[in-house]
């Protein structure tokens, strides 16, 4: 999912942790707001990375260039509106990533506007926060179970198609490996990442 070397790994660690932790925390926060207290009872309503990091998922991120955090357990039957709750909880993670990327880009552009001299290290860290969060948000919106995009899509599909989509989950890991080993994943991430970055830069250029 991401291209790693030692320098980008060290500089990108804050962005990586922010992307993972804020993504899962947002799922938990919105689930509680919609009436399900399962995330609070299971200790997921926290910004503590230890509660969200999955060791295998983190190692896979380092080795295979894509990974995952611990999924937040929710009980949709507790939602005040099950359909709305499922959609909003699924959207919350990617949206948290996009907001984080936007804020990091805002800091960078603000520093440039006021001619604040950024060290290469600070600039790299902020750039990686932007990159990781945009990519992580896009990646999770892919409509493949158990990614967030599939949970959103399921709420709009007729029953038989929803059942077929759910059936793909057993093959998800293999599909993701194939996407990673071929140009498919890059063909999704790179154009969309550039588009979102261009939109953010356009908004901020008007604001600043």
Q: Quick one: tokens of 81?
A: 């509106």
**42-58: per-residue pLDDT in tens?**
999 999 989 998 888 77
Q: Cα 96 to chain center, whole Å?
A: 7
Tell me which of 24, 155, 169, 201 is the catalytic residue. Answer: 24
**141-199: per-residue pLDDT in tens?**
999 998 999 999 999 998 889 889 989 889 988 898 888 888 888 888 899 999 999 99
SS3 122: helix
- For residues 49 and 51, give the distance between their C-alpha atoms in angstroms, rounded to a whole number: 5
Q: Is 24 designated active site?
A: yes
């Amino acid at each position: 999912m991401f291209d790693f070397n030692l320098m980008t790994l060290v500089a990108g660690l804050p962005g990586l942790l922010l992307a993972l932790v804020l993504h899962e925390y947002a799922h938990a926060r919105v689930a509680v707001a919609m009436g399900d207290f399962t995330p609070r009872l299971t200790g997921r309503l926290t910004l503590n990375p230890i509660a969200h990091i999955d060791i295998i998922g983190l190692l896979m991120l380092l080795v295979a260039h894509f990974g995952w955090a611990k999924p937040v357990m929710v009980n949709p039957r507790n939602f005040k509106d099950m359909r709305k709750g499922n959609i909003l909880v699924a959207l919350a993670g990617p949206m948290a990533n996009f907001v984080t990327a936007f804020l990091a880009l805002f800091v960078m552009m603000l520093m440039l506007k006021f001619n604040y001299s950024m060290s290469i290290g600070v600039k790299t860290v902020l750039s990686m926060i932007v990159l990781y969060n945009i990519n992580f948000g896009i990646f999770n919106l892919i409509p493949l179970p158990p990614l967030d995009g599939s949970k959103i899509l399921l709420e709009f599909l007729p029953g038989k198609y929803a059942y077929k989509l759910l059936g793909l989950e057993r093959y998800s890991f293999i599909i993701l490996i194939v996407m990673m080993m071929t140009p498919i994943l890059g063909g999704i991430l790179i154009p969309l990442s550039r588009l979102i970055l261009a939109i953010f830069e356009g908004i901020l250029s008007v604001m600043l």
